[in-house]
C-alpha cells in the first residue's frame, strides 16, 4: 500500500517536471537536490520526500507547497503546521517542539513529573502487559530525552502537529512559539524594545517604574508600536495546562478587551494582575479560568475586571 503511494507520487513528480520542460539535471540546478535522489524519487525507490526537500523543489516545479505536501502524504497535517514548516527551518522547529514538550512534563530539577510518569507507566503496562516494577525501571528521568531522540522524522512531525492543534485549542499563537532564530538573524522582522514587568499593581499606570524589572528586545511579528506591548514574568502554576510555567514570560498586547476564550492579563477587583483565560457569560459576568485543575475559576462582575491586554506569545524559559 505504502509502496503504491510512493510510486504514484513519483509519477506525479515526473509529470510536473516534464510539464515545466525541465530535465532532472536542470531541476537539480534549480533546487539544489541531487539528480540521483530526484531520479529515485520519480521511480518510487526513495520513499516520500521530507518537508525540507519539498520546500526546495516546489518553486522550480511551479507547484504550491501545500499541494506537494498533500501529494506526499502529509494531508492530515493542520494548516498551521504546514505553514510553520514552510516558513521556518524544520530542524529548528522540531528541536523547539522537543524542548517545549520535555519542559512541560519535567520539573525544574529535570525529573519527570509524578503525574506524567504514572500515566506513561500505565500506558506501557496496558500496551505490553509488563509488570509495574519492570516498567518503573524503564521510565527513569532520562526516558523522555531518549524517547524524543529516537523518534523518526515522520513521528516528530506528527508530534509537532499534535502540539500545534493543542496550541490552537488553547488560543496560543503557534507561529510565535515556533519562531526560529534564523528569522531574526536575517533581519526580516524588526524588533521592539519593550519593558519586562515583574508584576502589575492596581491603581498605577501599567508601565510605572515600580513595575519594570528590565527592558528587552523582541521580534515584532505583529507590526505593533513599542507603546502597545509589554512582557510580563509569569508567577505561579495556574496556567500550566497551556504550557505556561513560572519563570516563563508572556508577550502582552495592551488592549482593554479580549474575545471569550483568549488568555489575558487582568486586574481583578483592584488586586494585582493575574494571567487567566477569559470567558464571558451572556449576563455580563466574566469568568477567569486557570488552566490547572487544582485551581477554581474566578467569577466576577464585568466592572470588577480590568483587562490589561491579550497574551500573543509565550517565551519559554530554558532550564
What residues are annotated to the active site?
238, 276
At residue 288, φ and ψ (nearest 5 deg) are -100, 110
Query: Which residue's entry shows cell 518503573?
Result: 136
How far is Cα 53 from Cα 71, in angstroms, rounded to an integer? 13
Beta strand residue intervals within 206-262, DSSP E: 212-219, 229-233, 249-254
In this structure, the dihedral spanned by the alpha carbons of residues 248, 249, 250 and 254, taken in order and rounded to 10 degrees, is: 150
Query: Which residue's entry shows cell 531520479?
Result: 39
Crossing angle (nearest 10°) for helices 51-61 and 2-19: 30
How far is Cα 244 from Cα 128, in angstroms, rounded to an integer? 33
Q: How many CB atoms lie within 10 A of CB 149?
A: 9
Sign for the pseudo-dihedral over CA of 87, 35, 29, 72: negative
Q: How many CB atoms lie within 10 A of CB 271?
A: 12
Q: How many CB atoms lie within 10 A of CB 247?
A: 12
CB 315 within 8 A of CB 250: yes
How far is Cα 117 from Cα 101, in angstroms, rounded to an integer? 14
Amino acid at each position: 500500500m505504502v509502496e503504491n503511494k510512493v510510486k504514484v507520487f513519483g509519477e506525479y513528480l515526473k509529470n510536473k517536471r516534464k510539464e515545466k520542460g525541465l530535465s532532472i539535471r536542470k531541476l537539480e540546478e534549480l533546487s539544489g537536490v541531487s539528480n540521483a535522489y530526484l531520479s529515485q524519487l520519480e521511480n518510487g525507490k526513495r520513499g516520500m520526500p521530507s518537508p525540507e526537500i519539498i520546500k526546495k523543489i516546489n518553486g522550480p516545479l511551479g507547484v504550491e507547497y501545500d499541494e506537494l505536501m498533500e501529494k506526499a502524504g502529509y494531508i492530515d497535517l493542520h494548516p498551521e503546521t504546514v505553514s510553520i514548516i514552510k516558513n521556518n527551518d524544520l530542524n529548528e522547529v522540531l528541536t523547539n517542539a522537543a524542548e517545549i514538550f520535555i519542559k512541560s512534563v519535567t520539573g525544574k530539577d529535570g525529573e519527570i513529573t509524578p503525574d506524567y510518569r504514572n500515566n506513561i507507566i500505565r500506558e506501557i503496562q496496558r500496551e505490553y502487559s509488563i509488570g509495574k516494577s519492570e516498567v518503573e525501571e524503564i521510565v527513569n528521568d532520562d526516558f523522555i530525552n531518549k524517547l524524543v531522540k529516537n523518534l523518526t522524522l515522520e513521528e516528530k512531525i506528527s508530534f509537532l502537529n499534535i502540539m500545534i492543534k493543542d496550541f490552537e485549542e488553547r488560543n496560543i499563537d503557534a507561529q510565535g512559539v515556533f519562531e526560529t532564530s534564523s528569522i531574526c538573524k536575517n533581519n526580516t522582522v524588526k524588533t521592539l524594545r519593550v519593558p519586562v514587568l515583574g508584576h502589575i499593581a492596581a491603581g498605577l499606570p501599567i508601565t510605572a517604574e515600580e513595575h519594570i524589572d528590565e527592558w528587552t528586545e523582541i521580534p515584532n511579528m505583529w507590526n505593533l508600536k513599542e507603546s502597545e506591548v509589554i512582557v510580563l514574568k509569569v508567577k505561579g502554576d495556574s496556567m500550566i495546562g497551556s504550557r505556561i510555567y513560572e519563570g516563563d514570560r508572556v508577550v502582552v498586547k495592551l488592549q482593554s478587551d479580549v474575545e471569550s476564550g483568549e488568555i489575558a492579563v487582568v486586574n481583578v477587583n483592584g488586586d494585582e494582575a493575574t494571567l487567566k483565560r477569559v470567558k464571558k457569560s451572556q449576563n455580563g459576568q466574566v469568568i477567569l479560568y486557570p488552566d490547572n485543575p487544582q485551581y477554581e475559576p474566578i467569577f466576577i462582575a464585568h466592572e470588577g475586571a480590568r483587562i490589561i491586554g491579550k497574551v500573543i506569545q509565550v517565551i519559554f524559559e530554558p532550564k
